[in-house]
């Protein structure tokens, strides 16, 4: 689902900003502190179009792509991060350990 949404956003950006190509990738698994979790690359004949397309992609990714993040601190089990931009369901602790329940976000 996340990959399909990212492809959809990339296509929208290419059409809206008239760029040649858009590539989006989100890392999976443990991402160490200070390392990038998202890469967006845009090829375009004009810098402004590429920058605008890139900004559109990251904003739309945060708003529409169902990506869950678990913050883990040394000596703790970790907590699922509340993604304020995306209004989908968050995984429960059971889901993070192989369960299949979800809880709806509360604003």
Residues 45 and 13 in one domain: yes
Is 40:95 a contact under the CB 8 Å cutoff?
no
Q: What is the pLDDT of residue 103?
A: 38
Residues 63 and 76 in one domain: no
Q: What percent of the chain has a predicted confidence (pLDDT) above 70? A: 76
Greater model confidence, 23 or 91: 23
Tens-place pLDDT, residues 59-96? 999 999 888 777 888 887 877 776 665 555 555 545 44
Look at the chain and report how many structural domains it folds into: 2
Q: What percent of the chain has a predicted confidence (pLDDT) above 90? A: 48
Residues 20 and 30 in one domain: yes
Lowest mean pLDDT among 37-41, 56-60, 73-77: 73-77
Residues 72 and 20 in one domain: no
Confidence of residue 39 (pLDDT cuts 50, 70, 90): very high
Q: Are strands 102-104 and 79-80 parallel, antiparallel or unpaired?
A: unpaired
Which residues make beta-bridge pairs with 25?
A: 39
Helix axes 2-17, 47-64, angle to 10 degrees: 150
**Spatial distance between the Cα atoms of 21 and 18, rounded to a whole number of angstroms:** 9
- Residue span of the structural domain in which 103 resides: 68-107
């Amino acid at each position: 689902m996340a990959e399909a949404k990212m492809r959809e956003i990339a296509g929208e950006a290419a059409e809206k900003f008239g760029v040649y190509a858009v590539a989006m990738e989100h890392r999976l698994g443990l991402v160490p502190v200070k390392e990038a979790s998202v890469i967006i690359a845009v090829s375009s004949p004009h810098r402004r179009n590429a920058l605008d397309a890139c900004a559109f992609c990251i904003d739309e990714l945060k708003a529409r792509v169902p990506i869950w993040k678990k913050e883990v601190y040394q000596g703790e089990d970790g907590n699922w991060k509340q993604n304020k931009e995306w209004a989908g369901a968050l995984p429960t602790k059971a889901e993070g350990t192989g369960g299949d329940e979800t809880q709806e976000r509360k604003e």
